Amino acid sequence: MHKLHNLKFYMTPGSCSTGIHILLEELELVFEAYIVNLPAGEHYTREYVAINPKSTIPTLVKPDGEAITEYGAICYWLARSYPKAKLLPDEIDAATRVLEILNYAVNSVHLQGYTRIFTPEQYAFESHEIERVKAQGETIVKKAFVLLNRQIAGNRYVAGDRFSIADPALFYLEFWADRIGLKLPEHCQVHYRNMLERPAVKQVLMEEGYGALYR
């Protein structure tokens, strides 16, 4: 990871925090990274709750010591703090489209679909319901990709030819689909391949332990 600096980034490799990790690398920021082991429950420890009372990841602690605890809010702060990178388009309709896809990716596809696939016990009252919950999650994700595929058709990235804060969010959804064997529709597959070619993405995958799988 990076050398010690005023920015502190709390992450779990292979999770949604991978998207923020990509943005930090794209901006070439120096930050101190802390691994939070979600399966071990480290997000519930007293030390982490003192930083993020929501017990969620990712968390980005700004130079002034204030913690940003929501994925979209972290993206927005990075885009506004480093405007020269143009991670959020200047034109209002283009910026709105980026935010729309970003919020849909995180709030609907991830939190409604993938959580049912990865943590079905949160939704199943009985053990025999687990497979039904997983299937429901897969249905939600597949339908979402059909919609996203239509929205990005013909574009290299979400905002056309320019990389934006929405692209790492869409990427981590595509990355998860790849990892669990869900087939991506045509335009999402193109977006995924384009993202895999970006140096920052290659760097992040290597740092998070997936580099050998995506050479």
- Please indicate, yes or no, whether residues 80 and 144 belong to a single structural domain of this protein: no
Does the pLDDT at position 5 exceed 70? no
pLDDT, residue 127, reads 87
Same domain for 32 and 60: yes
**Is residue 100 domain-shared with residue 181, that is, in the same domain?**
yes
Q: How many domains does the chain have?
A: 2
Average of per-residue pLDDT across 56-72:
96
Specify the pLDDT at position 211. Answer: 77
| DSSP state letter for 210 | -
Closest CA to 116 of 129, 95, 135, 89: 135
CATH of residue 34: 3.40.30.10
CB atoms within 10 A of CB 1: 13
Share of the chain above pLDDT 70, in %: 96
Is the pLDDT at 1 greater than 60? The verdict is: no
| Mean pLDDT lowest among 3-12, 84-93, 160-169, 170-179 | 3-12
Please state the pTM of the whole predicted model: 0.94
Q: Please write the tens of the pLDDT for every residue from 141-154.
A: 999 999 999 999 99
| 60 and 105 housed in the same domain | no
What is the rounded CA–CA span in Å between residue 139 and residue 15?
Answer: 20
Average pLDDT over residues 100-108: 97
Dihedral through CA 207, CA 83, CA 94, CA 160, nearest 10? -50
Same domain flag for 50 and 109: no
Residue 35 inside a domain? The answer is yes
CATH number of the domain to which 166 belongs: 1.20.1050.10
Q: Domain containing 74: what range?
A: 7-85
pLDDT at 114 over 50: yes
Q: What is the CA radius of gyration of the chain?
A: 17
